[in-house]
Amino acid sequence: MIKLYGAPGWGSAISELMLTLGGIPYQFINVEGFDKPGPQRDLLEKLNPLCQVPTLELENGEIMTETAAIGLMVLDRCPELAPPSGQPERQQFQRLLIWLVANVYPTFTFADYPERWAPEAADTLRSRCMEYRKTLYLWLENHLRADPWALGERLTLIDCYIAVMRNWGPRGEWFAANAPKFTAIADRMCEQPKLQKVLKDNGII
């Protein structure tokens, strides 16, 4: 079975939602506190030198990281979690998947640990990243169909990011006021019967 190293509510929740939607079994290994020195970090660092979650150990012992790559692996097993090739939604799915991890996710890398990158200007780095992230989310809002899912009629892996990221900065109240489509999608994800346990385990509902 896949071993999924993660921390409740963190990025590992995105991959948990993906695997759960795909009906792919996994064992969750809680490495909460991995971002500080200690046994959890020692364990995770051996598997993933970036020491990030999610980190997966696949059935064949291979290590898999990066939510987008995990998503592509899930799609190999469950193609119905993306629009079929040949439909225009397919390209938008591909674009948004990479766009999220290439643009939004790095703002967390820098803003969550600003003292790592700019110890002399940590507060400025944190607040600039947050302002930039808000502009990214406003762009995304304009590219969401939300009828009812991000890409239209079909629930896709993009919706997994939305459900988890709504709880991260700038947080739910900001999204509700500024990104109604994003909020509606996150709310819908929270109602999915299949996802109730994983959402609860991650403190999302």
Ligand X SMILES: N[C@@H](CCC(=O)N[C@@H](CS)C(=O)NCC(=O)O)C(=O)O
Residue ranges binding ligand X (CB under 6 A):
10-11, 35, 51-54, 66-68, 101, 105, 108-109
Whether residue 176 contacts residue 183, with contact meaning beta carbons closer than 8 Å, is answered with: yes
Judged by beta carbon, residue 109 or residue 124, the one nearer ligand X is 109
Helices (H) and strands (E) counted in the chain, each on its own, are 11, 4
Judged by beta carbon, residue 66 or residue 159, the one nearer ligand X is 66
Minimum CB distance to ligand X, residue 202 (Å) = 11
Minimum CB distance to ligand X, residue 29 (Å) = 14
Minimum CB distance to ligand X, residue 51 (Å) = 6
Quick one: which of 43, 69, 81, 80 has its CA closest to 160?
81
Judged by beta carbon, residue 16 or residue 66, the one nearer ligand X is 66
Which residues have CB under 8 Å from 107's CB, separation 6+? 129, 130, 132, 133, 136
Minimum CB distance to ligand X, residue 164 (Å) = 9
Judged by beta carbon, residue 98 or residue 177, the one nearer ligand X is 98
Quick one: which of 187, 161, 195 has its CA closest to 93?
161
Judged by beta carbon, residue 136 or residue 148, the one nearer ligand X is 136
Minimum CB distance to ligand X, residue 11 (Å) = 3
Q: Cite the beta strand spans of the chain per DSSP E.
A: 2-6, 26-30, 55-57, 63-65
Quick one: which of 158, 122, 120 has its CA closest to 140?
158
Judged by beta carbon, residue 69 or residue 177, the one nearer ligand X is 69
Q: Cite the beta strand spans of 9-149 per DSSP E.
A: 26-30, 55-57, 63-65
Say how far residue 128 (Cα) sits from the centre of its chain. 21
Minimum CB distance to ligand X, residue 147 (Å) = 26
